[in-house]
Structure 1
Amino acid sequence: MKEFPCQLYLISPLEVGGDFPARLEAALSAGSVAAFQFRVKDLDQHEAAALAEPLQAICAAHDVAFIVNDSVALAKRLKADGVHLGQGDGDVREARELLGKDYQIGVTCHNSRHLAMEAAEAGADYVAFGAFFPTATKTVEHVAELDTLQKWSFVTEVPCVAIGGITPDNAKPLIDAGADFLAVSGSVWKHPQGPAEAVKAFNALLA
């Protein structure tokens, strides 16, 4: 049995300006969220930091971990709670040396328990498997299987994140297979009734 229940991990859309801070506030006010990942592309660090700071403040007010995607330098600049690294985004040991012991470091491992074990041995705090379902958020190059979650959860205590096309309607098998976190983006930010209703629906499932 898991010591903690599965939790929600929000990932930002690529566009986080305009009214997005208000949408994030609504989402985090609607129910329990463990973490928020700031994921933007093709911006210089100064521009990214300017967009991140109000979102980071909202997360802090709701006691939600603020995780920076890809960039160890930006995570350090913002004094974020952590960084999430893709397979091409740098070495876990180097990231730990730069950031220190208090930062959470996560690593994308696709459908590979071998990559996940390497990440865990290097000091990653969590590993992410996916994509489990078709998603419009990013190009799917790797499809993950429930068996990967089940076997990982059976052999290690390092938390695992399930990602990729997850909705309240298809998430239960991932929870049952041992996912510690559900990483979601489009199903929250594009929800027809708004992000708050999406968070409520996920919370009802995870309760």
Structure 2
Amino acid sequence: MALQLPKLYPILDAGLLPTDRREEFLAHLIAALANAGVTLLQYRNKLGPEDRILADAEIIRYAADGRLTLIMNDHPHLALQASFDGAHVGQNDISPQEARKILGPGKILGVSTHNRLQLEAAQAQPVDYVAIGPVFPTSTKSNADPVVGLDGVSEARRLTAKPLVAIGGMTLANAPQVLKAGADSIAVISAIFQQSDMAATEAGKFIHALKTFA
């Protein structure tokens, strides 16, 4: 059975978390997101050591209390250690084939793509969903790939039968257009977490705005 993605796919970047009272803040944030209706969350930490990633992951999983599907960015082995539901890999990370070997058949695996060749390759890879982007200019990733625009989302929809996640520069204003272009889910970072104390409120706004596409 194909993976059913929610319309909103928040990605929590560790770089947006405060350093003061981090553990308490993170636990409160995750519980608040679940209370706001978020059902899927990716945790992304590009710079932290593995013990820091695992410490955050333990807090996230405990605070989620079974209400969130949890995805680990980049590190399938840590996803297993943290008892997360799956992992997401990029083009410069471990290959989807190797990630699937680590995760096994029962975990969710996603892959990032940025152009036609990568999309075509992803169709044959052992992944449950494909991400396309950046759709719009974004400030949350250094050395970002070229913007693909709404046309890129439409092309991705034609090229893959897998669930499609759009990422990059997502806002309340443009998210509906991206779904209309063919995306199944909208991955949001800055528009939700830039003001982390307002993240649950902003997530709720996205859920409300996208519910007509359910």
The separation in 2 between residues aligned to 1:27 and 1:88, in whole angstroms, is: 30
In the TM superposition, what is the alpha-carbon distance from 1:6 to its structure 2 partner? 5.7
Deviates more, 1:44-53 or 1:191-200: 191-200
1:133 is matched with which residue? 136
TM-score (norm 2): 0.85
Letter in 1 for 2:150: L
Which one-letter code corresponds to 2:53 in the other structure?
Answer: A
Q: Secondary structure at the match of 2:102?
A: helix
Structure 2 Cα separation of the partners of residues 195 and 61 of structure 1: 20
Match of 2:121? 118
Q: Quick one: percent identity of the two aligned structures?
A: 33
Structure 2 residue 205 is matched with structure 1 residue 201: yes
The residue type paired with residue 195 of structure 1 is: A
- Seen in structure 2, the aligned counterparts of structure 1 residues 74 and 193 have a Cα distance that, compared at 3 Å, is closer
Cα pair distance change 1:56/1:192, threshold 3 Å: closer
Q: Is the CA contact 1:128–1:161 (under 8 Å) kept in the aligned structure 2?
A: yes
What is the aligned partner in structure 2 of residue 143 from structure 1? 147
Structure 1 residue 114 displacement after superposition: 2.2
Q: 1:83 to 1:173 in 2, by over 3 A?
A: same
- Alpha-carbon contact 2:135-2:152 (below 8 Å) kept: no
Report if aligned partners of 2:26, 2:59 keep a CA contact under 8 Å in 1.
Answer: no
SS in 1 for 2:14: coil
Q: Distance in 2 between matches of 1:105 and 1:13?
A: 18
Look up the match of 2:56: 51
Distance in 1 (CA, whole Å) between partners of 2:199 and 2:42 is 15
Q: What is the TM-score when the length of structure 1 is the normalising length?
A: 0.88
Give the distance between the partners of 1:81 and 1:130, measured in 2 at CA: 23
* SS of equivalent residue, structure 1 residue 98: helix
Provide the alpha-carbon RMSD of the alignment: 2.1
CA–CA separation in structure 2 for the residues paired with 1:193 and 1:57: 19
Letter in 2 for 1:200: G
Alignment of 1:63-142 (within 5 A): 64-110=68-114, 112-139=115-142, 140-142=144-146
Superposed structure 1 runs of 4+ greater than 6 Å apart: none
Aligned in 2, Cα 1:97/1:128: closer, same or farther, shift over 3 Å? same
Whether 1:8 and 2:12 are equivalent positions in the alignment is no
User: Separation in 1 of the partners of 2:31 and 2:139?
Assistant: 24
